[in-house]
Amino acid sequence: MRALVRITSWIYAVAIYGFIFLPVVVLVLFSLQATSFPIPPFTGPSLRWYDAVLADTRLTSALVNSLLVAILSSAAAVALGFLSAWGFARFALPGSGLMRGLITLPLTVSYLIIGMGLLVLFNWAGVPKSLLAAGIGHVVINLPLCFAIIYSQMGDHQINIERAARDLGAPEWTVLLLITVPVMAPAIFAGFFLSMTFSWDEFVISFLLTRFDTTLPVEIWNLLRSGLNPKTNAVGSLVFAVSIVLVVFFELMLLRRKPA
């Protein structure tokens, strides 16, 4: 009976992980296909489609664009998120609860709505469609996230640490740079890596706000319009690999044992 329960639970576990990861496994597997169609039977393994991706300057420049947008927009989002979290945590502001609610509200708004809103706004303000515009869009979606992560980690026990620094003669900006930022570093890096993950494979906003130079997900979408091809699998696998690395960094930062 116990053995039966064990076996059933194993089957269930395999089924559920299979459900989640089979699409990715299929994607990665057929990126190693030797022939021209990503359909069974598997003919690989071969790296010819990875060579093709790296030889495609549109894809590689889109990859560089994506990295740039991810790094710069995440840095901006984390900096703004940190400052607002610090402000809310350390000062009694009028309507603080409402303001905190407002700053996290974009988390619940769909990327499509945010993208359309920005499109209209940029159109009106005369900001051309560009990587910069997409980057600003990514700051909009990631700032609330960074704020929420950093604010949640900003406990009262750090107040006395900051006070102690001030007490010993540190001006306010020194307290921020030498004390608050290092003490908050795990949350700051966690926010940064999670933002990068989201920016890295964000499609809708980039699609709406870029034109000639674009990001990798948009370029992949262009590629898909001409049909399935192991090259799309290869570039998809690359995107996935980068995301995995970023998420691992995020978890290492946030779940790392906090020193007492």
Partner 1 sequence: MTAPLVDISSVSHRFGQHTVLKNVSLTIEPGSYTILLGPSGSGKTTLLSILGGFVTPSEGKVLIRGEDCTAVPPAKRPTTTVFQDYALFPHMSVGSNVGFGLRMQGIDAATRTARAREALALVGLATAFDKKPHQLSGGQRQRVALARALVVEPAVLLLDEPLGALDLKLRRQMQDELKAIQKRVGTAFIHVTHDQEEAMALADHCVVMNDGRIEDEGPPERVYARPATRFSATFMGESTLIPGAVTAAKDGTITVATQVGPLSLTGTLPAGTTVALAVRPEHLVLGAPGGAVGFGTAKVSDVVFQGSFKRVLAVSEKDPALHFIARAPAAAAVQPGDIVAVSCEAGDIILLAS
Fill in the amino acid letter for 198: F
Q: Which of 1, 3, 125, 260 binds partner 1 (CB under 8 A)?
A: 260
Tell me whether residue 7 or residue 185 sits nearer to partner 1 (CB atom): 185
Q: Does 96 bind partner 1 (CB under 8 A)?
A: no
Which of 172/251 has CB closer to partner 1?
172
> Smallest distance from the beta carbon of 78 to partner 1, in angstroms?
18
Listed in sequence order, the residues at least 6 apart from 188 whose beta carbon sits closer than 8 Å to its beta carbon are 78, 82, 150, 181
Least spacing, CB of residue 161 vs partner 1, in Å = 5
Please state the closest distance from residue 193 (CB atom) to partner 1, in A: 19
Q: Give the shortest CB-252-to-partner 1 separation in angstroms.
A: 17
Closest approach of partner 1 to the CB of residue 156, in Å = 10
Q: Which is nearer to partner 1, 45 or 182 (CB)?
A: 182
Q: 94-119 burial, b for 16+ CB within 10 Å, e for fewer?
A: eeeeeebeebeebeeeebeebbeebb
Please report how close the Cβ of residue 79 comes to partner 1 at its closest, in angstroms.
19
Which residue lies nearer to partner 1 by CB, 148 or 183? Answer: 183
Show the binding pattern over residues 35-74: x = contacts partner 1 (CB under 8 A), - = does not: ----------------------------------------
Q: How far is the CB of 184 from partner 1 (least distance, A)?
A: 10
Closest CA to 63 of 250, 246, 244, 238: 238
* Cβ-based nearer residue to partner 1, 179 or 235: 179
CB nearer to partner 1: give 2 or 157: 157
| For partner 1, the closer CB: 51 or 172 | 172
Report the site for partner 1 in 145-204 (rule: CB under 8 A).
Answer: 157, 160-161, 163-171, 174, 179, 182-183, 185
Question: How big is the site for partner 1, counted in residues (CB under 8 A)?
Answer: 19
> Under the rule (CB under 8 A), what is the footprint of partner 1?
157, 160-161, 163-171, 174, 179, 182-183, 185, 259-260
